[in-house]
Amino acid sequence: MSGSDELTRRRLLFGAAVVAGSVTLGACSSGGGGNSTGEGPKPSKGPAKRGSAPKPLAAPRQLKESPELAAQVKAGKLPALKDRLPDKPYVIPHYWAQNGKYGGTLRMACGASNDGAIKEYMYGHSPLRWLNDGLTLGPGLAESWESNQDASVWTFHFRKGLKWSDGQKWTTADIMFWWNDMVLDPDFSEGIPDEARSGKGTVARFEAPDDYTLVITYDAPSPMVPDMIANWVNRGIAATWMEPKHYMKQFHPKYNKSVGKDWTTKFDEKRNTVYNPETPTMGGWQLATYSEGRATTWKRNPYYWVVDQAGNQLPYIDGLNFRVVDNIETRKLQIQSGQFDQVHGPFNSLTLGDISGLKRSQGKSGMKMLLWDSGSGTGSIFFFNQDYDEPAMRALIRKAEFRQALSLAYDRGEARKSIYFDTGTPTTGGYGPKTREFHRGNGPQEYKQWRESWVKFDPERAKSMLDKLGVVDKDGDGKREKPDGSKLIVRLNYPADIDTTGEHMKKNQLLKKSWDAIGIDTRLSPVSPTSFGDQWAQGKLMTTTAWETSTMSVAADMLWLMPMEPSRWASLQGQFYALRGTPDEKKQLDLDPYKRTPPRAAPEPGSPVDRLWKLADKVRVEVDQTKRDKLVWDMIRVHVDEGPFFMGVVANYPQIVLVKDGLRNVPTKEQTALGGLVNDWHHPTPAAYDPEAWFWDDPKSHA
């Protein structure tokens, strides 16, 4: 992996985390401050228990280890198991998990040797964890946590005796190294994650009074902090949250004056767990070999701090082999020929259109197909840039009636049938049905209203609404013009390197068909993928068409609900928000918004964005969950009445997971709490289902 790859990840982190209370999910424990149990709504109960125990399980008295590690202990190459595990190991709480067998390897495919998706198999660096498809917040490296009454001070108690994969102690010094020497170091620019900002947007204070306690102090109530901390796979996407100080300090100028001026590049390379076999990890497996562009192999971490309910140290499987297959079609052929043991569909470009071919090849591949819920809020998405730099078009885009008319003219039924094979639920666009707020109080009704607000296919009403706006065919060419008489062209912008036969392009072609039919000149418009983000941020692109939304909590992830950074539906207003409270906020206000560096603009007073921002400021500091939910519903009603600000096709369509015969403890949809949750990277999948607990019926046949 090059240093630039990791720098790109840091920019992604910064763009996603530069604002308070966003980019993450979940909702705080019911109520607000005080002691936090981490419990949320309980999963539904059926004939058999689904999901996972909502409360932490006590560690068994007797602990066991793999024969491989036991032999190393006997040979004096490893300390005894009791000296490798923390005083209180984490016990996997899943009802579906059976006691397994040690041994064997797992063969998987990846698109690149440094593929970020590899990290999605390991949840080991997370202080807190999501359980029950996001309904429950559980412990991780942190054994317990609590806040003061107004949720402005959060204290986390970490397990005693944790160790890195090289046997060195894990302590809160590893968090403070990340915080002081990476996040707060102006030369490194790790970026301030959401959980480190208060409800007012200011940076928190981190303190570690001892090796096992972390105290985070905010200048305002910050009730969503635990939910945000559970998100992602740390040391993967978004906040790193820790680095092995004993190893990494040799690459940092504060501790080693001879590292050189370009130290950040080497630092990034050395800390990357999918690139550097020497970097210590807290995950279940550690990188053993790295072959650029070909393969990576992973071996068991002898210090992994997780056990099963019988006291067996995980992982069961000795190692992982990831083979690089960058051509999608070649990868699919190799999957069908049985060359892999587990295939997570979204990481391997599998779509519902592949189901028939995969089923036909089951005899050869030996793969069983599972269909997990995606949890998606939209499927393939479409949205205008409310800050598009052409004034007449921008004015039209900002008219709710224009966007509502286009939504009514969108034949989602055809898209649902041809792209999603009549699965999922038609949706105007919004967050997904797994979102935590939608499972309590008035949540189900609020979700249904949002989902159905402008979803009906009614082209005649759409044409009537356009007529009233003055968007009519003035010159008789069969195409509608803008109200001022100028040409109206809707450009469906997308990165030029996306799969031309994939869901986004199929959806774009159907959008064009639907909108051409009501007289809107709609054109497919590829854009260089390397410049797409910059052009969008400057307001030079009209639309985005190759994305989707999903999340786990509205209150902790408002990035889609309102512009907070420049990549979503109002790029300049999002950039303005991102700079709130910084020294740059008041600079260049005498310049044209499009000529500022970076381009940015405040919302018009009383506009939907202005009102959403003001509501969000209240959401972030509201400790009482019921009151906070009511504020969230007020925000959603802005979308219902004055949206859609983004348009979807269907919510919660299935995703494909393939499992080789004989591989156990990979849950089926029916065994999970809510049917699975795949698409939202805040809920790391498959990491949240503990792949370390997977095992082979016959390990010797998979050596």
Could you report the per-residue pLDDT of 126-161, keeping only the tens digit for each? 999 999 999 999 999 999 999 999 999 999 999 999
Output the pLDDT for position 96. Answer: 97
Residue 42 is predicted with a pLDDT of 46
Mean predicted lDDT score pLDDT of the chain: 92
Report the predicted TM-score, pTM, of the whole model to 2 decimal places.
Answer: 0.89
Q: Where are the domains of the chain?
A: 381-642
> What is 381-642's CATH number, 3.10.105.10, 1.10.3720.10, 3.90.580.10, 1.20.59.20?
3.10.105.10
Q: Does residue 535 register a pLDDT over 50? A: yes
pLDDT in tens, 593-615: 999 999 999 999 999 999 999 99
Cα–Cα dist 154/150, whole Å: 10
**pLDDT score of 602:** 96
pLDDT tens, position by position, 460-514: 999 999 999 999 999 999 999 999 999 999 999 999 999 888 899 999 999 999 9
Query: For residues 363 and 194, what is the distance between their CA atoms, to the nearest angstrom?
Result: 48
* pLDDT, tens only, 508-525: 999 999 999 999 999 999
At 207-245, the pLDDT tens digits run: 999 999 999 999 999 999 999 999 989 997 778 999 999
pLDDT at 627: 97
d(CA 260, CA 330): 43
Cis peptide before 644 (omega within 30 of 0): yes
Band of the pLDDT at 47, cuts 50, 70, 90?
low
Alpha-carbon Rg for the chain in angstroms: 25
Sign of CA dihedral 317, 322, 328, 330: negative
Number of neighbouring beta carbons within 10 Å of residue 57: 15
44 pLDDT above the threshold of 80: no
pLDDT at 12 over 50: no
Backbone angles phi, psi at 195, to 5 degrees: -70, -10
Q: Is the pLDDT of residue 26 over 80?
A: no
More confident residue, 401 or 501: 401
DSSP E strands, 311-440: 319-324, 342-344, 367-373, 383-384, 425-426
Q: Is 471 helix (H, G, I), strand (E, B) or coil?
A: coil
Q: Please check the confidence at residue 41 and state whether its pLDDT lies above 50.
A: no
Per DSSP, the residues of 201-219 read: SPBPEEEEEETTEEEEE-S
Mean predicted confidence (pLDDT) in 681-693: 95
DSSP H helical ranges for 279-320 = none
